Structure 1
Amino acid sequence: MIKRIHYVIMLGMIGFFALILVNTSSNPVRESFTYFPPDPDVTFDSASTSLTILTQDDEDEYTLDWKTGSSLSEVAYLRQDLSFLYEEGRLIDSMSIWKENTATLRQKKESTSEDSGHYEAITYHYGEIHYPNDVIKSAQQLSYDQLYVIDSPMTPLESFKKASSEEEKEWQYILDHAMDQQAQLVFKAMVTEYNLHPEDYYIFPLTSLGQYQQRTLPGLSQKQTADTIGGIWEGLYKNYFLGIIPPNGPTESPIGSTIPIILLHKHSPYLLILFQTKSGKNIELIQYLNEPILEPQDTLEE
């Protein structure tokens, strides 16, 4: 039995108590990232993530074009964008960019793949604003894109974001069904290992988090929702993007790991983040909320 592993994510000015992990990306990255309370006077003018087919290299391979971009309403002391790319529910790549004294960031990457697949990319856009007397605030935004690629020997290569024809709907069902079945097997294994009761939580994948920018997470205030989202990404930056430290084992690359699943407790002020490494080790992160949970105002689909 794999031992249980916990990391505590503290929100707000306290920051995050964790080890600085080994960088597994070839891109330059910061060694740490700390979320600060939101600045009501600073917003993102634009924030986007884009997935498209760039070229078909040959009959067996194609190139995926992955771009992110964002622009803040004013120059920030620090800007950072962090993006994850998933294929069939598994991380295949990540990219991060950070700059000081700027408002706008752009980054792009190409990924070669083969066979049909469902790709999802989610990006966390962040700005750190400094004021006199050591006052630090922040702005954050999420963006998401997806792409279904159909690479069949019977038909030309095609891609779509939302199925429109009957053929596309059939392919979407096939790809989603296979991914959902695998995700359910992994989730059940984690529930068993950590002795969890799913009915006690609102459950949703990281890739769906963007829908809670305009509305609150169930049972949370608007401020709690913003702090929670910031805390989630702070924790994932340090314990997922930079490398995963499983119990009784060396640091693992996040490549090949599953999409993190967020479990927000319905009655207690905490949430869990669960994912599985490529080698099959289950990881559990815990984030404690810094304000009491309210009565739920809406529900999430589980």
Structure 2
Amino acid sequence: MQEGIIIKGIGGFYYVETESKDIFECRARGKFRKKNITPLVGDRVVIEVTDNNSGYIIDIKERRSQLIRPAVSNVDQVVVVFSIKEPYINYTLLDRILVQIEKNKLDTILCFSKSDLVTEEEYNEVSRIYIDAGYKVIKTDVVNNNGIEELKGLLRDKITVFAGPSGVGKSTLFNVLQDKVKMETGEISSKISRGKHTTRHAQLINLEHDSYIVDTPGFSMLDLSHIDEFELMHYFREFKEYLGRCKFSSCLHLNEKGCAIIESVENGLLSRRRYDNYKLFLLEIKNNRRISK
């Protein structure tokens, strides 16, 4: 018996890296299917080796965290990669991703890539929104190697998922951060200003002894239907200071009188752009509840 971590899963085969850094191609025992348990990239597992490079997964250790989309377990933090230009930043998508990460109680690093394409003023205008919201923000530029060492330091001794839309330079960042796996990089479509999807499955890559990064398939929309309407406000970090100050305890911060969140937005203490996305998501959740009844 050996212990290891699943670094990749394709078509029912799971590739397990053991402590000795050997990699075994494994199938899961039937007991997992009977219990409706699917092994995930990031799972710590026990395997039974049948020959030199293959075996079976016989046990999955308890997961300390689990993401549904992408399907990865035991993640410590998420690096959310967005470019400000080429493609232009989609604030609604960014906030939607951040809500999902907050729900999963994971640490977040917001990485603005391709910083060589924007002025300092343009970068500050965008980054200030998220710094004020309480996020760790860094800017990277692979052309001039700016921010790469800082990012490497933040990845040390953690399992880190990289998330974000296609075309923002995630694969390019991966190729700069490590040389074990060459990620295919895609050009931006001139018609839709989005990148081609170049990553087909989640894959965990070892940077050093206990540091892993996960590349995940690109995505553009995330479903919020599993979030309760009274839950959403807690996933906007900057709201927390004002929660409980509203006139009505049942305030959803939509259009109620005496709402501390609305007043703070009007007074410039909270980002109107972020608040507008909160309202958009809240109405989406309420509409979904109405349709499902």
Q: TM-score, normalised by structure 1?
A: 0.21
Q: Which has the higher contact order (CA 8 A, sep 6+)?
A: 1
Richer in strand (by share): 1
* Bigger Rg over Cα: 2
Q: TM-score, normalised by structure 2?
A: 0.21
